[in-house]
Structure 1
Amino acid sequence: MQAFGPLEAGDPERVGPYRIVGRLGSGGMGRVYLARSPGGRATAVKVVHEELAEDPAFRARFGREVAAARRVTGPFTAPVVDADPEADLPWLATAHVPGVPLGTAVDTHGVWPERSLRALASGLAEALEAIHRVDVVHRDLKPSNVLLAPDGPRVIDFGISVAADDTKLTTTGAVVGSPGYLPPEQLVGREVGPAGDVFALGALLVYAATGTGAFGGGHAYGVNYRVVHEDPDLAGLPDGLAGVVARCLAKDPGQRPGVPELIEELGRWEGADGTRGTFTPDTWLPAPVAADITALRAAPMPEGTAPEPADADLPTVTLTPPTAVATARLGAPPAGRSFAARLRGLARRRRTAALAAAGTLVTLAVVAGLLLPRAFSGSSGGGGGTESTGSPTAAAKQLAVRELWSREQEFTGRPVVADGKVVVEGEDGAVQALDATDGDALWTYDELGGADLVGVSDGLVVAYGRDSGAVHAVDLDGGRRAWSVGAGAHTAPGTKFNLYLRVVVAGGTVYVNTMYDLPEDDERYGTYAVSALDASTGRLKWTRPVEYGLSEALAVVDGVVYGGMWGKNGTYLYALDADSGDQLWRYRTGEEIGGDVTAIEVSGDTVYAGDSRGVLHAVDARRGTRRWSHQPDVPSVEWFPSLMVTDGVVLGSTGINDTGYVHAVAAGSGKPLWTEHVLGEPVLHAMSDGSALYSSETGTLYARELRTGRPPAQTRLSTGDPTAAVDGDRVYFDGGDGRLHAGRVSLTGT
C-alpha cells in the first residue's frame, strides 16, 4: 500500500522551502503534495487552485484563516506548520499523517464495531475542541478529511474551507462542503458555527456504523433536501450511540450537544484489551484497518527523497521506520489521566527525571527485542547522522549494555529507581517494588484500586488513586502506608473531584493541580485549583481557585510553587509562596489562550518554561521579569517535560505528531547551540560528563556532546518505547517482550 502517487507533468518541484516528492490527492480547494522540509520532515503541502488564487477576497480571508488555524494544537489534528498566502499560488503545509482516510477504510473493510466507533467519536470530539478553541470552524468535516493513524484519528483541512466561502467558487454555484455532512443552517444560508461541525460528526458516525449516509445517497440536491426537511436514518447504529448521534443531527443548532459535552459522554470508551481511552492499533481500530495502516506506514518514500541537511553543523539522523507502532506513556510516571486528552487535546504524558550520579558517568543503551546476546554494542553514526572531527571530544563513541537480569513484569509508565529498589506501576493498578540487584519482588501495594505513580521522595513512594484522588505515601523499604491525603480535603462544596493534572510532594506538603466537575446545570465545563495539603495530617493548608484553567506543569523549588495557567487575557507562568499560596508574580507567556506552559525547570535565579506554542522562556525567579525567549526554527508544537539545565546549557525537546527535536540552548542568553531531528517523540534521560543522552519512542538511543551536539553515538532500542530509567551505570527498561530488563551500561570512545 502506498500513501502517495507519482508526480505528474506540471507538478512543482518545490513549494516555498518544501521539496515535492509525491501526490497525496486533490480537492475543490487545491492539490495536496507529499513534501520534505529542509530538515527532512515529511510534510503535506496544499497548493490552492489557480481560480481561487486570482480572487483578492479569497487571499485576504485565506491569510486570516490560516493564521487562526496555525494556533490549533492537539493530538487529533494535523496542525498547520507553514503557509504563504501571498505566493502566486497560495499554499499551506501541515504535518504529514501517513494514515488511511476513513472513507477508504469503510469502503474497503466495511462498517465498524461499537468499540471502534466510540473511540473514533472521542478522538474527533477532541479534535473539534482544539479547532473551536481558536475560533476556527471546520465546515467540511467528512470521511476524506479524517485520517486514521495507529494512535487515533486526525482531522485535516481545517485551515482552508472557511476561507473559500464567499469567493468565486460559491458565487458560481459550487457548494463549499460535502452533501450529507453540511448542516441544515448552512444549506439555507444561515450563519454556521461550531454546532455545524457537531452535525458533521454525527453524520460521520452514521457512515462509519452503516456504510451509508444518514440522509441517503444520490444527487446532491436530493441529499441536501433531506438534510433540511427529513429525519436521519439511524438504522444500524448501535443502541449505545443512537441517542448521542440523533442529538448531533438535530435540525436546530441550539439543540445539538456542545463539544465539551461530547468529550464527557464519548471519552469513556474501552479498548479491546479493556484499557480505557488508550489509542493503539489493537485497542481502537478494526483489525483489517490496523493491518492496512501498518503496511502503509512501512511503505518507503519515493526514490531520491533523502532529506537534505539544513545546516552542516546540525546533523540530521535518518532512521528506517519501525515495523511496528507502539504507543506508551513517556517519561517519569504520569500524575494521572491526561488533562490534555480530556480538555485540550494535548494528550502527551512525557515526564523525564534528571538522573545523574555524582562522579559517575551516566550512560544508557538498550537493545532491540530480548537482548539475546549477553553483551551488545552499537556503533556511532549508524543512523545517518554526521560526525565531526578535529577535537578530542569528537571521537567516535559506542553505547553498550550487558544484561544483568530480566523478570516477567507487565508495567506502565517509567520505573523509578531509589535506594536499591525499582518501583513500577503495574498494569493491574498496584504499585510494586523489586530488588534492583536481582529483580526479586519485595512488596506490592494495592490499596489504591488503580494507582498512578508520582515518584519517590525521602524514602517514601508517592502514588494516588485515579478515581478517588487519595494520595498515599508508602514506605520504600516495607511497602507499608506512611500517610494518606484524601481529595475531599481540597474539593470545594458544589464541585466533584475529577482528576489531577500534577502532584508534587516537597517538604512534607502535597501540592496538587486539580480539575473539578461542576453540577450538570452549570454552564461552565469545569473549575480548577492549585492546593497544598499537610502530608502528615491531610489538612488543607491553602487553595487558589483558577477560573479558566491550569496547565499540567508544576514545580516546587526553595519555597516557591511555579506553574502555568490561562485566563481570558492570555496564558501565564506564575509563582506562589509555597507556605501561604500568596501570589509572588505572574509572567505572561502568550496574549491568547492556547499556549499554556508545558515544562518548567528552575536553575539558580532563573525559571525556564517551555510552552505549547514552541516558545522557551527564561524568567527571573525573584521578580518574574523576562530574561530572554527562544523559539526554535522547526515545525514543533510544544516543549515536552522535562527541561534539564547543566553546565550553562538548557536541554529540552519539542515535537509534533511523529516527529521530534532535541534542542540545546545557552542558559544565559537563549542562543541556540544545536538542534537534532529524530523520528518519534524524544525523551531526555540524563546529562553527565559533558554528554546529553536521549531516546526516541521509535527505538533509538542517542548520545551527544552537550555544547556542540557532536559526536553522534546511537544504538537501536526495542521496537517500542523502552520506558527506561537510569541509576548510575544501571538501566532498567521494558524490553518489548513483557519483561523488565536490567543492564549495566557504558559509553566508550574508540
Structure 2
Amino acid sequence: MQAFTPLEAGDPERVGPYRIVGRLGSGGMGRVYLARSPGGRATAVKVVHEELAEDPAFRRRFGREVASARRVTGPFTAPVVDADPDADLPWLATAHVPGVALGAAVATHGVWPERFVRALGSGLAEALEAIHRADVVHRDLKPSNVLLAPDGPRVIDFGISVAADDTKLTTTGAVVGSPGYLPPEQLIGREVGPAGDVFALGALLAYATTGTGAFGGGPAYSVNYRVVHEDPDLEGLPEGLAEVVARCLAKDPQRRPGVPELIGELGRWEAADGARGTFTPGTWLPAPVAADVTALRTVPLPLPEEAATTTADADLPTVTVGAAPTAVATARLGAPPARPPLAARLRGAVRRRRTAVLAAAGTLVVLAVAAGLLLPSAFSGSSGRGNGTESSGSPTAAAKQLAVREQWSSGQDLWQPVVADGKVVGEGEDDLLHAVDAESGDVEWTYPSASSLEGVSDGVVVATSNEQGTVQGIALDRGTQVWSVPAEAHTAPGTSFHLYLRVVVAGGTVYVNAMYDLPEGSERSGRYAVSALDAATGRLKWTRPVEYGLSDALAVEDGVLYGGMWEEGGTYFYALDAETGEQRWRYRASEEIGGGATAIKVSGDTVYFGAERGVLHAVDARRGTRLWTYEPDVEVRDWLEPLVVTDGMVLGCTGENNGSVSGSGDVHAVTAATGRPLWSEHTGTEPELHGLLDGSVLFSTEAGTLHAADPRTGESAAQVRLSSGDPDAAAAGDRVYFDGGDGRLHAGRISLTER
C-alpha cells in the first residue's frame, strides 16, 4: 500500500523550496503533491489550478484563507507550514500525514463498531475546537478530508475554509462543499458558522457507522433537498450514538450541540481493553484499518531522483486531498413510473434479460447490445458531457473518429446473439437456435428444439424451455445436446413449474431462479425458489424456497451465489454458498417488498447490485455490509446488465423495464470506492453497455446508434448510426454482430482512430 502515486509528465520538479516526489490527489482547487522539504521532511504541497490563479478575486481570497489556516494548531489537524499566495501558481504546504482516508477505510473494510466511531468523533471534535479557536470554519468536512493515523484522526484541507468573519468573500449564490455534509443553512444562503462543522461531524459519524450518508445518495440536488427538508436516516446506528448524531444534524444550528459539549460526551470512549481515550492503533481503530495504517507508515518517502514519471492516469488517487469534482448529471427530474403488475414485470424480465451465463472464474463475459443497420461511415456530434480529467496517455473519445466496417452478412437473423469461442449463437425467426462462424458468417449448426437462449459457459450453450420445463446443455462446437435437467428435479411438492426467471452455470452446476404455480384456491398465486442442480445428472443439490419473489439477476463468483429476493420485512440481496446453499449473509436493500436486483457484478471484495427501483448498492462481498448506495434522480429506474467495473469506476445503464416497449434511459459512471457520481448521459431510447475498446466505453441505444465515450467524463462526440430500427446485437472486442433490419445478421469491425 502507498499513499501516493508516481509523477506524470508535466508535473513540477520543485514548488518553492520543496522537491516534488509524488502525487497525493487532486480536487476542485488544485493538485496535491508529496514533497521533501529542504531538511528532508515529508510535506503535502497543494498547487492551485492555472485557471483559478488567473482570477485576481480568487488570489485575494486564497491569501486570506492561508492567513486564517496558519492560525490553526492542534494535535488532530495538519498544520500549514509554508505558502506563497503570490506565486505564478499559488501554493500551500502542510505537514504530510501518511494516513488512510476515512472514506477509503470504510469502503475497503466496512462500517465501524460504536466504540471506534466514538473515538473518531472525539478526535474530530478536538480538531474542530482548534479550527474554531482560530476563528476559522472548515466548511468542507467530509470522509476524504479525514485521514486516519495511528495516534488519532487528522482533519486536512483548509483550502476552501473561510475565516468566520470573511464569509462575505464567497460568491453570492455559490455553494462550496460536499453534498450530504453541507448544513441546511449553507444550502439556503444563510451565514455559516461553527455549527455548520458540527453538522458535518454528525454526518461523518453516521457514515462511519452505516457506510452510507445520513441523507442518502444520488445527484447533489436531490441530496441537498433532503438535507433541507427531510429527517436524516439513522437506521443502523446504536441508540446512544444515534441520539448524538441526531442532535448534530438538527436543521436549526442553534439546536446543535457545541464542540466542547461533544468533546465531553464523545471523549468518554473506551477501548476493548477498558482503556479510556488513548489513541493508539490497537485501541481506536478497527483491526483491519489499523493494519493498513501501520503498513502505510512503513512506505519510505522516495528520493527526488527515484520519483519516476509515468503517463498513467492518476485522477483517482489512493488518498484524495481537496474538493471532489462536481458531478455532472444530465438526468431529468420527475416522478418514477408506476410499478407494473407482476405479470408485466415477468414479461419485462424476459424482454430485458441479458444473455450471460457466468463461468466459474468469470472468464466469459457476454456483451449483448442494442444496435442495427450498418451505414458506410461514422459521424460526430457533441452529445456527451463530463467533468473529469482526461487521461494524458491517449486521446479522449471525443477526440477520436468512430467507424464500423461491414465484414459479412448471413442469411439468418438472430435474436439476443451471444459471441463465444469463435461462434455467434442466437435464436432465429424460426424459433430454433443457430450458430454461425464469427469470422465468415457460415452456419455451423442448428438446434432443432424450440428453446430460449440463456448463454454460454465452458463450451456449452445453455437454453431453457418453459413449455417443457427443461434446462438443456448444447455442445458449442457441434450443436448436440450433452445434458438436460427436467423441472421435476427442482419443483417443490404441491407446486407445478411455471417460469424460469434466470439460469446460470458454473463449475458443472446449474443454478436456477424459478417461479412455481400453487394449487387453485391458494392464498398466493405463486411461489419461488433458487435451486442448484448437477449438470451431468440433473440431481438436485439444494433448493431454497422463497415466499414472495425472486429477482431475475444471479451471479456466481469464487464459490458464492449472489441474488435478490423479496421476503416478509423487505427486499434483500443475499450470498449463498454455491456448493451447499447455506446463507453466508443477507443484506436488506429496502423495507418495502419489490425493487430487487436486476444487475449484479462482483469485483474484488465488493459486489455491486443494481436494483429495480434505481438504486445501485455496493456491498462487502465477505460480510454483506453496505459500503455505499447511489440513486440517480431520473425517470427511468431499473439498472440494466451488464455492469462494468474498470479503473476505479462502475459503469452501468438504467432503463424503464416496464414490460412494454422500451423507453428512454441513461448511462452512468460512479467511483467504485465511494459511489460518488462522475457523470450521467441521457439517451432517447434504452441504452446498453458493450464494454471498453481502446480506452473508450462503448454503448448503444435501441435507436441504432453506437457511441464511444470517455469513461471518466462521459463526453461522447464519437458515434455512428447503425440502424433506424430496434435490433439486437452483440459486441466482442472490436467486432459487432447485429440485425441489419433486412432479416440478416451482419458483422462489422469497430475502429477508433485519432481525428
TM-score by length of 1: 0.51
| Maintained 8 Å contact 2:370/2:701 | no
Q: Provide the C-alpha distance between the structure 1 equivalents of 2:630 and 2:389, rounded to a whole number of angstroms.
A: 29
1:645-677 CA distance string (max 9 Å, x none): 111111111123622110001001111111111
Q: 1:367 and 1:638 mapped to 2: Cα distance?
A: 20
Residue in structure 1 matched with residue 741 of structure 2 by the alignment? 736
Alignment identity in percent?
63
Query: Which residue of structure 2 lines up, in the alignment, with residue 402 of structure 1?
Result: 405
**Are 2:464 and 1:461 aligned?**
no
SS of the residue corresponding to residue 579 of structure 2 reads coil
How far apart are the structure 1 equivalents of 2:385 and 2:427? Answer: 36
Alignment of 1:384-395 (within 5 A): 393-394=395-396
Distance in 2 between residues matched to 1:731 and 1:563, nearest whole Å: 30
Spell out, residue by residue over 1:155-214, the C-alpha distance to the aligned partner (whole angstroms, 9 max, x if none). Answer: xxxxxxxxxxxxxxxxxxxxxxxxxxxxxxxxxxxxxxxxxxxxxxxxxxxxxxxxxxxx
Indicate the residue corresponding to 1:430 in structure 2: 432
SS in 1 for 2:714: coil
CA distance in 2, matches of 1:482, 1:354: 17
Q: Which one-letter code corresponds to 1:567 in the other structure?
A: E
Q: Provide the C-alpha distance between the structure 2 equivalents of 1:572 and 1:471, rounded to a whole number of angstroms.
A: 26
Q: Partners of 1:344 and 1:423 in 2: how far apart?
A: 23
Q: 2:57 matched to which residue of 1?
A: none
Residue 668 of structure 1 aligns with which residue? 673
Q: Secondary structure at the match of 1:575?
A: strand
Q: 1:743 to 1:370 in 2, by over 3 A?
A: closer
1:357-506 maps to which residues of 2 (within 5 A)?
369=373, 371=375, 376-381=376-381, 393-394=395-396, 396-413=399-416, 415-447=417-449, 450-506=450-506
Alignment CA distance shift 1:393-1:630 (3 Å): same
Amino acid at match of 1:748: T
Secondary structure of 2:377's aligned partner:
strand
What CA distance in whole angstroms lies between the structure 2 residues aligned with 1:363 and 1:523? Answer: 41
In structure 2, which of residues 655, 680, 700 is the aligned counterpart of residue 695 of structure 1? 700
Inter-partner Cα distance in structure 1 for 2:369 and 2:554: 30
Determine the C-alpha separation between the residues in 2 that align with 1:451 and 1:650: 33
Whether 1:512 aligns to 2:512 is yes
* 1:715 alignment counterpart: 720
Mapped contact 2:372–2:738 kept (Cα < 8 A): no
CA offset digits 1:342-382 (Å, max 9, x no partner): 65976751427699xx9xxx9999986464xxxx3313326
In 1, the alpha carbon distance for the partners of 2:487 and 2:631 equals: 38
Equivalences for 1:30-429 in 2 at 5 Å? 314=328, 341=344, 348-351=351-354, 369=373, 371=375, 376-381=376-381, 393-394=395-396, 396-413=399-416, 415-429=417-431
For 2:399, give the aligned amino acid.
A
Contact 1:464-1:470 within 8 A present in 2 as well = yes
What is the one-letter code of the residue matched to 1:381?
G
In the alignment, structure 1 segments of 5+ residues that lack a partner are 1-81, 87-310, 319-337
Shift of 1:619: 0.4
2: CA distance between counterparts of 1:611 and 1:561? 17
**Cα 1:475/1:551, change in 2 over 3 Å:** same
Instruction: Indicate if the aligned counterparts of 2:548 and 2:567 stay in contact, CA closer than 8 A.
Output: yes
Figure out how many residues of one structure are paired with residues of the other and give that number. Answer: 412
Q: Does 1:746 align with 2:748?
A: no
Cα offset for 1:728?
A: 2.5
User: 1:102 maps to which residue?
Assistant: none
Cα 1:343–1:480 change in 2 (3 A) is: closer
Q: CA deviation at 1:739?
A: 0.6
Q: Gapped runs of 5+ residues in structure 2? A: 1-220, 226-324, 333-340, 657-661
User: Per the alignment, in what secondary structure is the counterpart of residue 393 of structure 1?
Assistant: coil
Does the Cα contact within 8 Å between 1:662 and 1:677 map onto a contact in 2? yes
User: Contact 1:352 / 1:685 at 8 angstroms: preserved in 2?
Assistant: no
Asked whether the 8 Å contact 2:528–2:546 carries over to 1, the reply is: yes
Distance 1:456 1:744 in 2: 23
User: Does 1 or 2 have the higher relative contact order (CA < 8 Å, sep 6+)?
Assistant: 2
Q: Which position in structure 1 is the counterpart of 2:575? A: 575
**CA distance, structure 2, for counterparts of residue 343 and residue 451 of structure 1:** 18
Q: Relative to 1, partners in 2 of residues 1:725 and 1:461: Cα closer, same or farther, differing over 3 Å? A: same
What amino acid is aligned across from residue 718 of structure 1 in structure 2? S
**What is the alpha-carbon distance in structure 1 between the residues aligned to residue 697 and residue 547 of structure 2?**
40
The equivalent residue for 1:552 is: 552
Alignment of structure 1 residues 535-684 onto 2, 5 Å: 535-656=535-656, 658-684=663-689
Aligned letter for 2:410?
R
SS at match of 1:351: coil
Partner in structure 2 of residue 144 of structure 1: none
Q: CA 1:354 to 1:478, structure 2 compared with 1: closer, same or farther past 3 Å?
A: closer
Alpha-carbon offset, residue 384 of structure 1: 7.8
Quick check: 551-560 or 386-395, which moved more?
Answer: 386-395
Q: Distance in 2 between matches of 1:606 and 1:695?
A: 27
Per-residue CA deviations over 1:297-350 (Å, capped at 9, x if unaligned) read xxxxxxxxxxxxxx99748699xxxxxxxxxxxxxxxxxxx9763659767514
Q: Distance in 2 between matches of 1:397 and 1:701?
A: 14
Contact 1:451 1:463 in 2 (8 A): yes
Aligned with 1:341: secondary structure?
helix
**Matches of 1:597 and 1:430, distance apart in 2:** 30
Contact 1:618 1:628 in 2 (8 A): yes
* Cα pair distance change 1:686/1:342, threshold 3 Å: closer
Shift of 1:712: 2.7
- Give the CA deviation at 1:642: 2.1
The verdict on how the C-alpha distance between 1:537 and 1:738 changes in structure 2, with shifts beyond 3 A counting, is same
Task: Indicate if the aligned counterparts of 2:371 and 2:706 stay in contact, CA closer than 8 A.
Answer: no
The CA deviation at 1:567 is: 1.5
